[in-house]
Chains A and B, each alone.
Chain A
Amino acid sequence: MAVGFGDQLAQYVVSGLTTGAVYALVALGFCLIYNATRVVNFAQGDFLSLGGLMAYSLLIGAGLPMALAFPLAIVAVALVGALLERLAIRPARSRQVMVLIFITIAASILMRGIFKHLWGKQALALPPLSPETPLHLLGATFTPQNLWVLAITLVAIVALIWFFNRTLTGKAMRATAINSSAAALMGIDAHRMTMYSFALAGALGALAGVLITPITSLSYNVGVIIGLKGFAAAVLGGYGSFLGAVVGGLVLGLIESLTAGLISSVYKDAVAFVVLLLVLFLRPGGLLGVKGRDRV
């Protein structure tokens, strides 16, 4: 059956936006932790893996209904994120960013080891949120999961915006990120705000995992590459910027999908990193032109 070019294009756009939404969620996780601590959290991808793995255990292992299993998984990973801050970042004797970044890398290795031990190395199948009856719209064939991913990501983003602008905790977190000493003088516990950032990043990573692994497959290290691509997305949009994370994620998803479809799928995995390098070389502030925060 000959598929028209327009239809193919629509297809690539749909799948691109889907993965793009997931990249956006991961990128937001990076953004949160970076803003709170200036640290690149290399365990972000592992939050994604853990989200999928926990959801699997709760759903298939414990037999919980999906409506319970998935949110619980997200909460569990949020706790893990908080633990990461509390046990690995906060007690660190050196506050140099380089060392802290490496602590997240070590934590990532440790976490993956634990995942491998608990869930094994084989691929697992996490079911999609609803039955996979293909839908057709504007020439593209896609599944309900694509819609779920986009819809839930949108809800998550709106929820985050509301949280940071309308709740006291959210505003406190923003204040701490901007100036932790001033925030402390206002009675805000900077350490606790940082912990919340990690918890939120964990939740976002887990959400991404729960949404994407039904499409891609689930295993103990599925989050590694997705995490790195989410990072590339954050840089593409403008590292450290909330809007940049979202824009970067969607744009990267599209670029990846279109490149794989129109040019060659063989180099698909390299696309994100070529984009990363190009951004760093040509426009380090990303699409949104974010300026560096370092001051004299």
Chain B
Amino acid sequence: MSALLTIKGLSVRFGGVQALSALDLEAPAGAITALIGPNGAGKTTAINCVSGVVAPDAGRVSFDGQEVLGLAGHKLACLGLTRTFQNLQVFGLMNALENVMVGLHAASRGGFAAAMLRLPLLRREEKAIRERAEEMLSFFGLEKVAHQPAEELAYGDQKRLELARALAGRPRLMLLDEPVAGLNAAETHEIGGLIVKIKEQGIGVVLVEHDMGLVMHVSDQVAVLSGGVLIAQGTPEEIQQDPEVLRTYLGGGEEFGLVA
């Protein structure tokens, strides 16, 4: 599988801290590439660089052969690259359905003039958007809360809502930033299953997570960051036996045996 997302030599410095040092990473389509590491290792920084939130000091990022660093943030969704956020960024006042409908913004066209004049193009698109959004809500088990304001949803539901929003526009690669943070074992297991289903649709996934059980269970490749530097990369089995990783991060490995 050729790489869909290629990161080369990505470096970021925040004041006195080197958050990322020459990171090289590839994420193919139809596979789950995990990015793990202790807090402050630079995982979210890497995601922020790719999604245009942070401008790196050096390096290149290409998505499907196209250079994407420096592109305005909103263009990435049009290219098929979406993300979720570590600190939830749902649109609190809008209901669940509307949140997911925003996820389809890149997939639709009507502009200001069309909107104000309520042109037929817009009305047709709106119908399609609504249907797809409802489909997404079903996929994530959120139909019951479709018309509730997003800020009133349970934490787990809000996490799933972000996923639904990111998936709605049929992206080719999704950057998931700690999608199961704060969830219990059952919810984590459920989301893990959904992520695998997403991958099976041919969508690439970059998964930043702390939950080792989930990571080792679903990932095809695991990259380990520590202090902004990539210290190991390989399959889950390889990573769990890598001495460098065990030393700096997994702490011996006993408690991180193969968890179903």
What residues of B have a CB within 8 angstroms of the CB of A296 in the complex? 48, 53-54
Q: Range of interface residues on chain B?
A: under 10
| Closest A residue, CB atoms, query B44 | A296
Q: What bracket does the count of chain A residues touching chain B fall in?
A: under 10
Residues of A within 8 A of B53 (CB): 296
Chain A 259-296 per-residue mask, 1 if CB under 8 angstroms from chain B, else 0: 00000000000000000000000000000000000001
Q: Which A residues between 140 and 171 are near B, CB-CB below 8 angstroms?
A: none
Question: Smallest CB-CB separation from B14: which chain A residue?
Answer: A295
CB interface residues, A 73-99, toward B, < 8 Å: none
> In whole angstroms, how far apart are the Cα atoms of A296 and B54 in the complex?
9
- The answer for the CA separation of A121 and B96 in the assembled complex, in Å, is 56
B48 to chain A: closest residue by CB? A296
Q: How far is the CB of B83 from chain A (nearest CB, A)?
A: 12
Dominant secondary structure of chain A at its interface with chain B = loop
Q: Determine how close the nearest CB of chain A comes to the CB of B234; give it in whole angstroms.
A: 30
Complex-state Cα separation, A296 to B12, whole angstroms:
15
How far apart are the CA atoms of A296 and B53 in the complex, in Å? 8
Beta-carbon nearest neighbor of B86 in chain A? A296
Taking the closest CB of chain B, its distance from the CB of A292, in whole angstroms, is: 14
A100 to chain B, nearest CB (A): 20
Q: Which of A16-69 contact B (CB under 8 A)?
A: none
Contacts of B48 in A (CB 8 A): 296
Shortest CB distance A264–B (Å): 41
**Contact digits for B157-184, partner A, Cβ 8 Å, 1 yes 0 no:** 0000000000000000000000000000
Chain A nearest CB from B50 CB (Å) reads 14
State which residues 28-60 of B face A: CB under 8 Å: 48, 53-54
CB distance from B27 to the nearest CB of A (A): 22
**Nearest chain B residue, comparing its CB with the CB of A296:** B53
Residues in chain A near residue B54, CB distance under 8 A: 296
Query: Whole-angstrom distance between the alpha carbons of A296 and B48 in the complex?
Result: 9
A296 to B87, CA, bound (A): 10
Write out, one digit per residue, whether chain B residues 53-71 have a CB within 8 A of any chain A CB (1) or not (0): 1100000000000000000
Q: Which residue of A has the minimal Cβ distance to B89?
A: A296
Q: Once bound together, how far apart are the Cα atoms of A89 and B157, in whole Å?
A: 35
A293 to chain B: closest CB distance in Å? 13
A249–B207 alpha-carbon span in the complex (Å): 51
CA distance A296 to B51 in the complex (A): 12
Q: Please give the distance in Å from A29's CB to the nearest CB on chain B.
A: 29
**B248 CB to nearest chain A CB (Å):** 26
- The answer for the CA separation of A296 and B177 in the assembled complex, in Å, is 14
B249 CB → nearest A CB, Å:
25
Q: Complex: how many Å from CA A162 to CA B48?
A: 40
A296 to B83, CA, bound (A): 15
CB nearest to B45 among chain A residues = A296
Minimum CB–CB distance for B74 against chain A, Å: 16
User: In the bound complex, how far is the Cα of B53 from the Cα of A29, in angstroms?
Assistant: 33
Expressed in whole angstroms, the minimum distance between the Cβ of A181 and any Cβ of chain B is 15
Report the separation of the CA atoms of residues A296 and B47 in the bound assembly, to the nearest whole angstrom. 12
Q: A224 CA to B56 CA in the complex, in Å?
A: 44
Q: B19 to chain A: closest CB distance in Å?
A: 12
- How far, in whole Å, are A296 and B86 apart by their CA atoms in the complex? 11
The docked-state distance in angstroms from the alpha carbon of A184 to that of B238 is 46
How many whole Å from B183's CB to the nearest CB in chain A? 22
Give the Cβ gap from A96 to chain B, nearest Cβ, in Å: 13
Within B202-248, the residues touching A (CB, 8 Å) are none
Smallest CB separation, B73 vs chain A (Å)? 11
What's the least CB distance linking B122 to chain A, in Å? 30
Which B residues lie at the A interface, using CB under 8 A? Answer: 48, 53-54
Which 3 pairs across A and B sit closest by C-beta, in order of nearness?
A296-B53, A296-B48, A296-B54
Question: Can you list 3 A-B pairs with a CB-CB distance of less than 8 A?
Answer: A296-B48, A296-B53, A296-B54
